[in-house]
């Protein structure tokens, strides 16, 4: 019997596993890095062990420290969650050696599937359909690379042999692009997974991403729990997943299931795993990889089958036979999951960090898997996924509508999110019609779909709501802004990401407000101040506006939408002087390469620094010709947004 | 505490007539106030703005905290004189960085912000307000100095401006000068006497003598900047503590000076929960009459000023021509003394005396609501000692140490003006309703008295009395007194701190009470309360 479980992970998945363990009466041990001292997963667990440091390499990837903690605290099992150590065969083996149950498949199965090149070969043997491809050895020269590329045929997908989640993945359409794509994929793979091995694969155009959940026990049973469709992706990362797929009928489902079970059997799979396929528009599907762990999007399978996959994993790990409910699972209704990220979509999915002044996703019949609470912070060290929001409904339409509403009504203050993109996608005619494939955002510009609420109507109403709340809060027993002689209106300016609105108001003798926006009088009737905002009739339409003020920033949520605006300071602060030609970090991240050398003559567009933020590499290029006059960072430096990286002096070049 | 009930009939003809007449007066008042707000007129204001400058009122608005109140004093100063209404200066009480303070701003669009005798009176009154209420004082300086043709009425008394500034400093009350422009000759002593000075670059001119005067005096060639520019005073003399790049920067620095003052109030502050009155202040317009011969019930006024319309009346059945009692305004406890029927008899005078002593025992500020035609005359009253009882009341008012706030609701005649804490009795604030009248006595009475005296004089000298000439003279005197007792006239002479809209009375008293709590609130001690 399992008594105590150590969760070798963080964030929402750690919280998810802890909850499941608690329901089974199993004690829990959390591990946490310096950045996660106050994280919810630590608070949820019965015990916690500090892993000193912040980078994953010092903390959540330190299998030795984690096993030592498990031994010390008498944990009899370790759940690796997803990511981090979940697909490290060596770690699974080390657990086994220490007499601790690793909740997952055997080290052999992990190793077999961990190398995607070998995995493909093995699946081909087992009769699972695969795509053509080739491995790139580290010492392959340019000519050989060109030949190999031609052999596979364009378009080509460059992928990391170890790893997943889209990291190190590149699509190459022209032979000329292959070399650089391979080099950067190798670098990203090496940084992320500790192994830079990459391979090429024929790229299927307009594919759907279909994956099948499988579970196997120690008694030779392997079954599938139907498919999930995860085609809505941005930069190879899934953001909306659903089950079942609109493109899979019963016959295809049986075929997919059979292939997935065959794949599982081929490696004597024990535990929960996922067989990923790429599916062409004609319904042909090809093996991509097996993820030998719990998937991020596992909740939608849970919703349509009624099976708790984490509890099932724990049961399997204890040697239980798959229960009847799993052996004979049925699909009921439809489930959709949206991944809410802290990121600036229009800016190019730039990850955001900072404190969450309010984080409230509510509603009945909604499942929110999150590792954040109001008052916690999104750090630059880990994934910026704030929450998975999952809705189950009898029909797909209802699930999509409800999920959209829940996301719209959520109050998320402090960091910019992809909420608008999710909401717009769920309501998009193509999505509603089930026309989903991985090229969705190539056809529908995410910068447009994901633009923040910014109509003049909402900005006007929200600026007025913010101004009135401020006036009421500053109001005393003698009212606000009293003048016995004429007097000018109180004036506040509100900045919505560059658009400024000036709200002027005077408080009348009867305490009503006369309001003008940008000089034009507006019809505003203050109905009441509520605990979290005000009720205002604006142009005759009464709505509650929830106004949350943090410093100079006002977060307003209403039926019109959600906005963030800042009260423009009355007095400009003395300017912060910036050296001409300074290159600033556009986002928080860590420096992975410094190409610039002090005193070097550089030309406009030359890459000077490479930053890795979250899962992407960003090139910082010279803004103009000049001479590198200062370098402020080195490989490994963690930088915040706005940090000066390099200074290029354009006057020094001659 | 007892809650006042109202008997006001909003549908009565008297109410409607009062309201129409009061609104007419307020409209006239607005017309006069607009002259003060308009400064030197559109052309001068436009020229001022074209120089990149803010008007005096804009400077004040920027200096004040967001949504803070500003209680402006005497906007009608110099009304009815040869000088511009407002007297080329804006003064009042506002809140800067959370601190209540007195603001004095020159209006450079009115004859260059020069000072005339009314400017001086208004200026000195604002300084007095800073001193007696212990309010920091900030001067927004841009003035061409004295209005030279009126120097005879100015030069000698104006020395008090600098005297008072340094006196404030000696009392530990902070003084701040934000210099936006001319501050020359005597004006140079304003920043010179203030604790803190901020000068605007290329605008501030702070010197004893400008280039022409220097040329005349010594033959030296010079320029504004080297004689008294912001940069020079920042780097060379140190007279300027903070160099401001422009007006906005100057105001920003001024606010930072306030933020660093460490200036707690000494009074206990509001000690009760503020509560709106039960009755609408709008009704005050129909309650108070413009024809002061028709009395109105001051209880109806109190019911529209005090918290929750609660009024705990003291001696309600003794000396009933005067109301006394306890209440609070915006949470500040007060004792209220209000004329009920206009005339003060012996009982009223003794009742007021006791009440004032009681307020001093418990350190409660007093609010005087005047609608008073004076102390009663006649043989019976004289023989009963009305002088002695009136003297008791005036003695008590004079030597009372708690803050007094006076509002003239209607008549303010004769010694009633003194006993009910008129200007000469040093109320911390004195405001008047536009319908009020202030004079030694009513116009008819005064003219009639003069007619009787003339008739007696003629009779004693056995001269014939010219009835026709007397009638003409009497009407002329009536007209003169009517004019001179008018609220605008008295406000023009800075005999009050301004005329207020009756509907603003509660708010104005709230601001005034908050201001007086900047200083300690301590009553007169020594004797106990004498039972009269």
Cα-based distances in Å from A500 to A518, A538, A552, A594: 9, 19, 14, 38
Q: Which residues of B touch A572 (CB under 8 A)?
A: 248
In this structure, are residues B21 and B320 in contact, taking their beta carbons and an 8 Å threshold?
no
CA dist A182 and A188 (Å) reads: 10
**Interface confidence (ipTM) of the complex:** 0.93
Concatenating the DSSP letter of every residue in B147-173 gives -GGGHHHHHHHHHHHHHHHHHHHHTT-
Could you tell me if A575 lies within 8 Å of chain B, comparing CB atoms?
no
Distance from CA of A568 to the nearest CA of B (A): 13
CB atoms within 10 A of CB A130: 19
- Report pLDDT for A165: 62
pLDDT averaged per 10 residues, chain B (length 532):
92 95 97 95 94 95 96 97 96 97 97 94 98 98 90 92 95 98 88 96 93 89 94 94 94 97 96 96 95 90 98 97 98 97 95 98 97 94 96 96 98 94 97 96 89 92 91 94 95 97 98 98 91 86
- When mean pLDDT is compared across A172-186, A286-300, B30-44, B260-274, the lowest value belongs to A172-186
Nearest to B153 by CA among B106, B84, B83, B75: B83
Rounded to 10°, the helix B56-63/B247-259 angle is 40
Could you tell me if B514 lies within 8 Å of chain A, comparing CB atoms?
yes
Nearest to A260 by CA among A216, A205, A294, A206: A216
- Report pLDDT for B331: 97
DSSP A56: G
Tokens of B317: 């059945």
Q: Encode pLDDT of A344-384 as tens digits.
A: 999 889 999 999 999 999 878 899 999 999 999 998 888 88
- Report pLDDT for A577: 41
CA dist B523 and B401 (Å) reads: 5
Q: Which residues of A are catalytic?
A: 293
Q: Encode pLDDT of B388-421 as tens digits.
A: 999 999 999 999 999 999 999 999 999 999 999 9
Scanning B300-339 for CB atoms below 8 A from A yields 330-331
In this structure, are residues B124 and B154 in contact, taking their beta carbons and an 8 Å threshold?
no
Which residue, among A478, A491, A508, would best test binding to B if mutated, counting the most B CBs under 10 Å from its CB? A478
- Closest partner CB to B508 (pick from A481, A484, A488): A484
- Report pLDDT for A654: 47
A396-406 burial: b if 16+ Cβ within 10 Å, else e: beebbbbbbeb
- Report pLDDT for A184: 87
CA dist A120 and A113 (Å) reads: 8
- The residue of chain B nearest to residue A471, with distances taken between CA atoms, is B67
Q: What is the CA radius of gyration of chain B?
A: 25
CA dist B162 and B179 (Å) reads: 16
- Closest partner CB to B507 (pick from A475, A479, A510): A479
Decide if pLDDT at A581 tops 90. no
Residue A618 sits at the vertex; the CA angle it makes with A615 and A619, to the nearest 5 degrees, is 155
Tokens of A531: 């605990």
Contact A478 B501 (CB under 8 A): no
Q: Encode pLDDT of B292-350 as tens digits.
A: 888 899 999 999 999 999 999 999 999 999 999 999 999 999 999 999 988 999 999 99
In this structure, are residues A608 and A628 in contact, taking their beta carbons and an 8 Å threshold?
yes
Alpha helices in B139-273 (DSSP H): 151-170, 189-193, 211-218, 224-228, 230-232, 247-259
Nearest to B241 by CA among B271, B206, B278: B206
Secondary structure class of B22 (helix, strand, coil): helix
- The residue of chain A nearest to residue B62, with distances taken between CA atoms, is A570
Beta bridge partners, A492, equal: A503
- Report pLDDT for A623: 79
CA dist B40 and B488 (Å) reads: 20
CA dist B214 and B227 (Å) reads: 10
Q: Which residues of B touch A477 (CB under 8 A)?
A: 270, 274, 330-331, 510
Spacing of C-alpha A205 from chain mean position: 24
DSSP B283: G
Could you tell me if B274 lies within 8 Å of chain A, comparing CB atoms?
yes
Q: Please give the interface size between A and B, counted as residue pairs whose CB atoms are below 8 Å apart.
A: 76
Contact A481 B69 (CB under 8 A): yes
Decide if pLDDT at A576 tops 70. no
Cα-based distances in Å from B85 to B30, B31, B43: 12, 11, 17
Cα-based distances in Å from A202 to A143, A157, A159, B483: 19, 6, 11, 102
Q: Which residues of B touch A504 (CB under 8 A)?
A: none
CA dist A459 and A461 (Å) reads: 6
**What's chain A's average pLDDT?**
91
Concatenating the DSSP letter of every residue in B305-348 gives TSGGGB-EEESTTSSTTEEEEEEEETTEEEEEEEESSSEE-HHH
B345-363 burial: b if 16+ Cβ within 10 Å, else e: bbbbbbbbbbbbbbbbeeb
Contact A481 B507 (CB under 8 A): no
Q: Strand B404-413 and strand B437-439: pairing?
A: parallel
- Report pLDDT for A245: 97
Decide if pLDDT at A546 tops 50. yes
Q: Strand A27-32 and strand A4-7: pairing?
A: parallel
CA dist A651 and A581 (Å) reads: 10
CA dist A511 and B281 (Å) reads: 12
Give the model's confidence band at A431: pLDDT under 50 very low, under 70 low, under 90 confident, else very high.
very high
């Amino acid at each position: 019997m399992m008594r105590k479980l150590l969760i070798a992970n963080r964030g929402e998945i750690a919280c998810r596993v802890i909850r499941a363990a608690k329901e089974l009466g199993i004690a829990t041990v959390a591990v946490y890095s310096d950045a996660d001292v106050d994280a919810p997963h630590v608070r949820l667990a019965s015990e916690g062990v500090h892993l000193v440091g912040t980078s994953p390499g010092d903390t959540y990837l330190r299998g030795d420290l984690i096993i030592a903690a498990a031994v010390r605290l008498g944990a009899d099992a370790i759940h690796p969650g997803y990511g981090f150590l979940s697909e490290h065969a060596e770690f699974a083996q080390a657990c086994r050696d220490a007499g601790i149950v690793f909740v997952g498949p055997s080290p052999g199965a992990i190793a077999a599937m961990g190398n995607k090149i070998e995995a493909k070969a093995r699946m081909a043997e087992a009769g699972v359909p695969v795509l053509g491809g080739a491995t790139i050895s580290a010492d392959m020269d340019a000519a050989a690379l060109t030949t190999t590329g031609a052999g596979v045929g364009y378009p080509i997908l460059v992928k990391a042999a170890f790893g997943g989640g889209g990291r190190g993945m590149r699509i190459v359409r022209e032979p000329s692009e292959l070399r650089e794509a391979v080099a950067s994929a190798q670098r990203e793979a090496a940084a992320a997974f500790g192994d830079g091995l990459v391979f090429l694969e024929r790229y299927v155009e307009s594919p759907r991403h279909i994956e099948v959940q499988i579970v196997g026990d120690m008694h030779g049973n392997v079954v599938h729990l139907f498919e999930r469709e995860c085609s809505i992706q941005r930069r190879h990362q899934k953001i909306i997943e659903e089950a079942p797929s609109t493109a899979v009928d019963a016959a295809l489902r049986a075929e997919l299931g059979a292939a997935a079970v065959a794949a599982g059997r081929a490696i004597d799979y024990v535990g929960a795993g996922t067989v990923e396929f790429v599916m062409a528009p004609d319904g042909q599907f090809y093996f991509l990889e097996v993820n030998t762990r719990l998937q991020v999007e596992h909740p939608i399978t849970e919703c349509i089958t009624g099976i708790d996959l984490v509890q099932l994993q724990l049961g399997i790990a204890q040697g239980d036979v798959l229960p009847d409910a799993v052996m004979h699972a049925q699909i009921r209704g439809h489930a959709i999951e949206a991944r809410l990220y802290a990121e600036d979509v229009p800016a190019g999915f730039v990850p955001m960090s900072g404190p969450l002044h309010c984080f409230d996703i509510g509603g009945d019949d909604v499942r929110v898997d999150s590792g954040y609470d109001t008052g916690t912070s999104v750090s630059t060290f880990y994934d910026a996924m704030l929450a998975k929001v999952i809705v189950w409904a009898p029909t797909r339409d209802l699930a999509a509508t409800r999920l959209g509403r829940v996301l719209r009504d959520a109050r998320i203050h402090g960091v910019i999110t992809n909420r608008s993109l999710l909401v717009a996608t769920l309501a998009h005619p193509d999505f509603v019609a089930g026309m989903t494939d991985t090229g969705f955002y190539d056809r529908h510009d995410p910068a447009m779909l994901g633009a923040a609420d910014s109509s003049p109507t909402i900005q006007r109403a929200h600026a007025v709501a913010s101004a009135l709340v401020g006036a009421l809060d500053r109001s005393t027993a003698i009212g606000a802004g009293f003048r016995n002689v004429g007097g000018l209106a109180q004036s506040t300016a509100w900045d919505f990401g560059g658009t400024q609105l000036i709200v002027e108001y005077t408080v009348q003798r009867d305490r009503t407000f006369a309001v003008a926006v940008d000089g034009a009088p507006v019809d505003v009737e203050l109905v009441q101040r509520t605990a979290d905002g005000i009720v205002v009739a604006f142009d005759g339409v009464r709505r509650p506006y929830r106004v949350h003020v943090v410093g100079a920033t006002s977060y307003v949520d209403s039926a019109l939408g959600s906005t963030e605006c800042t009260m423009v300071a009355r007095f400009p602060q003395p300017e912060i002087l910036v050296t001409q030609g300074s290159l600033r970090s556009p986002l928080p991240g860590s420096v992975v390469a410094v190409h610039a050398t002090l005193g070097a003559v550089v030309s406009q567009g030359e890459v000077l620094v490479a930053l890795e933020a979250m899962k992407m590499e960003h090139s910082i290029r010279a803004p103009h010709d000049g001479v590198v006059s200062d370098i402020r960072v080195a490989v490994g430096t963690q930088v915040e947004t706005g940090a000066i990286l390099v200074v290029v002096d354009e006057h020094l070049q001659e | 505490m007892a809650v006042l009930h109202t008997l006001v009939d909003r549908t009565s003809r008297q109410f409607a007539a009062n309201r129409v007449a009061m609104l007419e007066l307020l409209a006239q008042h607005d017309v006069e106030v607009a002259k003060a707000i308009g400064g030197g007129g559109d052309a001068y204001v436009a020229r001022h703005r074209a120089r990149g400058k803010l008007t005096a009122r804009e400077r004040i608005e920027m200096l004040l905290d967001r949504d803070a109140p500003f209680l402006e004093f005497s906007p009608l100063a110099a009304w009815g004189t040869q000088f511009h209404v407002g007297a080329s200066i804006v003064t009042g009480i506002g809140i800067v960085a959370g601190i209540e303070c007195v603001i004095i701003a020159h209006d450079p669009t009115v004859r260059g912000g020069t000072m005339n005798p009314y400017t001086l009176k208004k200026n000195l009154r604002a300084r007095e307000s800073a001193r007696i209420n212990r309010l920091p004082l900030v001067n927004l300086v841009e003035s061409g100095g004295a209005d030279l043709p009126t120097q005879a009425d100015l030069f000698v008394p104006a020395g008090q401006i600098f005297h008072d500034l340094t006196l404030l400093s000696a009392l530990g009350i902070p003084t701040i000068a934000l210099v936006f422009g001319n501050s020359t000759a005597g004006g140079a002593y304003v920043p010179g006497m203030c604790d803190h000075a901020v000068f605007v670059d290329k605008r501030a001119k702070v010197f004893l003598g400008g280039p022409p005067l220097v040329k005349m005096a010594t033959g030296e060639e010079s320029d504004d900047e080297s004689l008294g520019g912001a940069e020079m005073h920042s780097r060379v003399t140190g007279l300027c503590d903070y160099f401001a790049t422009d007006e906005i920067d100057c105001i920003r620095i001024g606010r930072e000076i306030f933020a660093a003052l460490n200036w707690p109030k000494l009074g206990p502050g509001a000690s009760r929960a503020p509560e709106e009155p039960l009755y609408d202040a709008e009704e005050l317009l129909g309650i108070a009459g413009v024809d002061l011969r028709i009395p109105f019930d001051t209880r109806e006024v109190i019911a529209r000023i005090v918290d929750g319309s609660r009024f705990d009346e003291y001696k309600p059945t003794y000396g009933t021509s005067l109301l006394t009692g306890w209440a609070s305004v915006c949470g500040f406890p007060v004792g209220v003394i209000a004329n009920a029927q206009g005339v003060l008899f012996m009982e009223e005078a003794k009742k007021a005396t006791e009440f004032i002593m009681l307020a001093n025992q418990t350190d409660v500020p007093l609010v005087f609501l005047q609608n008073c035609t004076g102390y009663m005359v006649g043989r019976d009253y004289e023989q009963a000692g009305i002088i002695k009882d009136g003297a008791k009341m005036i003695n008590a008012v004079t030597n009372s140490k708690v803050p007094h706030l006076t509002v003239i609701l209607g008549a303010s005649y004769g010694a009633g003006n003194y006993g009910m804490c008129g200007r000469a009795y040093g109320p911390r604030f004195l405001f008047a309703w536009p319908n009020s009248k202030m004079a030694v006595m009513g116009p008819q009475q005064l003219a009639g008295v003069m007619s009787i005296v003339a008739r007696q004089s003629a009779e004693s000298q056995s001269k014939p009395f010219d009835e026709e000439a007397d009638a003409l003279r009497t009407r002329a005197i009536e007209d003169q007194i009517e004019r001179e007792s008018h609220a605008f006239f008295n406000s023009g002479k800075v005999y009050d701190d301004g005329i207020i809209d009756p509907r603003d009375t509660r708010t104005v008293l709230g601001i005034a009470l908050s201001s007086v709590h900047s200083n300690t609130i301590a009553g007169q001690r020594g004797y106990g309360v004498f039972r009269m």
